[in-house]
Structure 1
Amino acid sequence: MRLKYVLNEVLVGLWRNVTMTIAMIITMSISLFMLGASVLLYMQVDQMKNYYYGKIEVSVFLRPDVTDAQRQNIDQMISSNPLVAGKTYETQKQAFDRFQQLWADSPDFVKSVGPNSLPESFRVKLKDPQKYKEFSNQIQGQQGILDVIDQRTLLDKVFGIFNGFQFGALGVALFMAVAALLLVGNTIQVAAYSKRREVAVMKLVGASNWFIQAPFVLEAVVAGVIGSVIGFVVLFIAKVVLLDHKLQALATILTPVHNGNVWLMLPLLAGVGGVVSAVTAWITLRFYLKV
């Protein structure tokens, strides 16, 4: 009987303040959508780091006037280095052919580069990419070497941009979360005020604190869960429409976002939305009803 009464009061309360309830749900769904997007972005950046850092190579570019003896000496030094996991040699022609393939969509740019403009090089894969500086110090300065470049420095800049998006999405989520919490507190306060006489009567007849607070807390929880479901649906649609279709051309650069990771956001968002709403409502009632 008590449970039926509590559930009935929850439905009545949500309908009585329907406009504020809708505003609370919308704000909660936006904040939880941004939270889910930032968590997915965080997971994706880590996945991309593991993928690309595992493919990092050190490029040892040779001087245009390198001699056969110098080339053989550099080759031997690289092969005998204990830090090296493998290497490939790329001639000027091979470098130019690869350049033409990479920039096939920009014929004017390709024409501006001659066959002898790109240096020959050794592409070196280290056992531990973190030891680039140690490898570079050992080989740098040898006769015939033009430069030693680590791809990690380029990737760090790219991932720095991704990290910026990461923190930006999280910042927007936190900002919207504050707005959602204020709306939850305000909605519960208005609901409690509209039922102040009923609350006073229940207190006089000895109703427990839990029994008085339960309908208000459940109102907030229901609104939070609905908002989390809406936020998840928007997140899933955005993933399918944008990443799987509109931005499919970036599939060779961006690692795929697996549906399993997106589905993980549903319990996460529902849990966060429900718990945060419940805690906010409970704190509001403690200060407002003094029960």
Structure 2
Amino acid sequence: MRAQFVLSEIGVGLRRNLTMTIAVIVSVALSLTLAGAGLLLRTQVNQMKDFWYGKVEVSIFLCGKSDKVPSCAGGEVNNEQREGLKAELSRMPLVKKVYYESKQEAFKHFNDTNKDSPLSGNITADQLPESYRVKLKDATKYQVVASAFAGRPGVQSVQDQRKILEPFFKLLKNAQYAAYGVMGFMLLVAILLIVNTARVSAFSRRRETGIMRLVGASNLYIQLPFIMESAIAGLLGGVLASGLLSTGFFFGVKKGLGQQFNAFELIGWGPVLTTLPLLVAFGVLMSAIASFFTLLKYLKV
């Protein structure tokens, strides 16, 4: 009988505040969709970092005849310096593999990657430096190699391909922060709507709650219908957010970027399916907790 009464009170409350309940559901759905998108973007950025950082190399360019840097004051790198660098690189625990690229190989690589460039016909093999391409076990420890070989006799410069990727990842991280900022704003709007809906619902049923108090109903029993109303709105908002996020992922990533952009592997359905239950649970908890604290102030029982 008590459960039936609570359910009937929930139905009454939802009907009385239908427009506000719909506003709560939409606000919760939008904020949680942005939250899920931010989480998926973070997963994608981390996966991209693992993919690209696993491919980047540290390039140790050796001195040529015309190099004017102090480390090349002795002229073009000689065989003793070349072999000494290779031996030292091979002994470093951080180094996974060392590739030697001659001037001719560098020239071929330059022509292959710059076929349409006007410079391709004006560059000769002697103008390009020979180098050691070093693949590290941990690409984030580039400075260990740089400090060990930068400025050494026979070494023109040490470059890390990671620097090329950093601006791109910084842009993605800023986009992630922007998504979190908009998400925070939408969550605030949703919480304010939940608070206002609970307050209006409590005010509109003050006579019923007064009667329940007179017949000895407990505080939790009186508050439960209001909390459940908010929880149901949060549940529907979480379910709607899950649908929006899944639809956006399917058409935007799988059918969009996934078929037009294959420079790296995009995340699959695994992270999405892991995120969806979190959105639903957070929607329910956020709504129920916001309603509970609102009733402590506005529902005098």
TM-score for both structures, normalised by structure 1: 0.88
Give the drift of 1:213. Answer: 1.0
- Structure 1 residue matching 2:156: 3-state secondary structure: strand
Mapped to 1, the partners of 2:35 and 2:287 lie a distance apart of 15
Which residue identity lines up with residue 208 of structure 1 in the other structure?
S
Q: Deviations over 1:137-179 (max 9, x none)?
A: 2222234322101223333333222221222211111111010
Which residue identity lines up with residue 194 of structure 1 in the other structure?
S
Which residue of 276, 284, 287 corresponds with 1:274? 284
1:56 corresponds in structure 2 to 56
Which residue of 262, 278, 290 corresponds with 1:251? 262
Mapped to 2, the partners of 1:203 and 1:5 lie a distance apart of 15
Which residue of 134, 143, 152 corresponds with 2:162? 152
Q: Is the aligned partner of 1:119 residue 2:143? A: no
1:87 corresponds in structure 2 to 98
Q: Is the aligned partner of 1:265 residue 2:275? A: yes
**Backbone CA RMSD of aligned residues:** 2.4
Give the drift of 1:126. Answer: 2.4
- Structure 1 residue matching 2:262: 3-state secondary structure: helix
Mapped to 1, the partners of 2:118 and 2:248 lie a distance apart of 35
Q: Would the alpha carbon gap of residues 55 and 285 (structure 1) be closer, same or farther in structure 2, given more than 3 Å must change?
A: same
**Structure 1, unaligned stretches of length 5 or more?**
none
1:15 corresponds in structure 2 to 15
Mapped to 1, the partners of 2:192 and 2:122 lie a distance apart of 60
1:182 corresponds in structure 2 to 192
**Structure 2, unaligned stretches of length 5 or more?**
66-75
TM-score for both structures, normalised by structure 2: 0.86
1:212 corresponds in structure 2 to 222
Q: Is the aligned partner of 1:27 residue 2:36? A: no
Q: Deviations over 1:232-276 (max 9, x none)?
A: 1111111111222222333313x3212011011121011111001
Mapped to 1, the partners of 2:241 and 2:112 lie a distance apart of 42
Mapped to 2, the partners of 1:280 and 1:290 lie a distance apart of 16
Q: Would the alpha carbon gap of residues 245 and 61 (structure 1) be closer, same or farther in structure 2, given more than 3 Å must change?
A: farther
Which residue of 271, 277, 293 corresponds with 1:283? 293
Mapped to 1, the partners of 2:109 and 2:3 lie a distance apart of 71
- Structure 2 residue matching 1:206: 3-state secondary structure: coil
Which residue identity lines up with residue 167 of structure 1 in the other structure?
Y
Mapped to 2, the partners of 1:280 and 1:215 lie a distance apart of 14
Q: Would the alpha carbon gap of residues 193 and 115 (structure 1) be closer, same or farther in structure 2, given more than 3 Å must change?
A: farther
Question: What is the identity percentage for the equivalent residue pairs of Structure 1 and Structure 2?
Answer: 40
Mapped to 1, the partners of 2:121 and 2:207 lie a distance apart of 83
- Structure 2 residue matching 1:146: 3-state secondary structure: strand
Q: Which range moves more in the overlay, 117-126 or 193-202?
A: 117-126
